[in-house]
Structure 1
Amino acid sequence: MRDPKKSGKASAGKPVSGRSAPGVSSDNSDGGYNAGMAVFSYIIGGIIVWSLIGWGLDYLWGTRWIVLAGALLGAVGGFYLSHMHGLTSSRKNAGERPAASGPSTDGDTNAK
């Protein structure tokens, strides 16, 4: 049974990650290596799985192009999945605001 006082720790003593992506901790102490490996795994895994599906459909239907379409679909799907898990977006450092988007308003005084 789980101790409510230790709800922030896993049974092995490691912190529980609040993110859904594998290999990325909530305090970002792992750096970009684990996130990069997760992105790589999603993309390569998608290419392999969808290429095999395309190869099987090529074999059934007697075509030769579906395996290529499957590889492209797998790469796009892997990138999309890693983006939705927050692995490819830029992260904010603690206490910093992101850069403002849109045109600058302080340069209007020099306009002619």
Structure 2
Amino acid sequence: MSQPDTPRGDPWMAFGYLTSGVLLYGAIGWGLDRWWGTGFMVVVGILLGAGLGLYQTFARFRMVEEEPSAPPPDAPGSTRPAQQ
């Protein structure tokens, strides 16, 4: 069992999610700007990448690590008798 104040994730992984989201979607926005002749898609891509990176970070680190529980009473190898 971990202590409540112990971090549950790697901060470099969170940094990687945010950085890769901004770089990837910023590059896609830059490519769309070049293709369509606009000047705002790079900003949209960067903001979208930052939002998706934050979502991925929170989704990854919010997962609760469940402790292993006892097998059900009727499972093979169980030492508890099944209730009838």
Q: How does the TM-score come out when normalised to structure 1?
A: 0.48
AA paired with 2:42?
A: V
Tell me the equivalent position of 1:63.
Answer: 38
Supply the distance in 2 between the matched residues of 1:76 and 1:51 (Cα, whole angstroms).
Answer: 12
Structure 2 counterpart of 1:57, which letter? L
Pick the aligned partner of 1:75 from 44, 50, 75.
Answer: 50
Which runs of no fewer than 5 residues in structure 1 stay unpaired? Answer: 1-26, 92-112
Following the alignment from structure 1 to structure 2, what is the Cα–Cα distance between the partners of residues 62 and 80?
A: 30
- Give the partner amino acid of 1:65: F
Pick aligned residue for 2:24 from 49, 60, 69: 49
**TM-score normalized by the length of structure 2:** 0.63
For CA contacts below 8 A with separation 6 or more, give which structure has more relative contact order: 2
Deviation of 1:45 (Å): 0.3
| Identical columns (%) | 33
Q: How does 1:16-35 map to 2 (within 5 A)?
A: 32=7, 35=10
Q: What residue ranges of structure 2 are gaps of 5+ in the alignment?
A: 65-84
The amino acid across from 2:22 in the alignment is I
In structure 2, the residue matched to 1:40 is 15
Q: Which runs of 4+ in 1 moved over 2 A?
A: 31-34
CA distance in 2, matches of 1:66, 1:32: 36
Which is helix-richer, 1 or 2?
Answer: 2
Cα RMSD (Å): 2.7
Amino acid at match of 2:46: A
CA positional deviation for 1:40 = 0.7
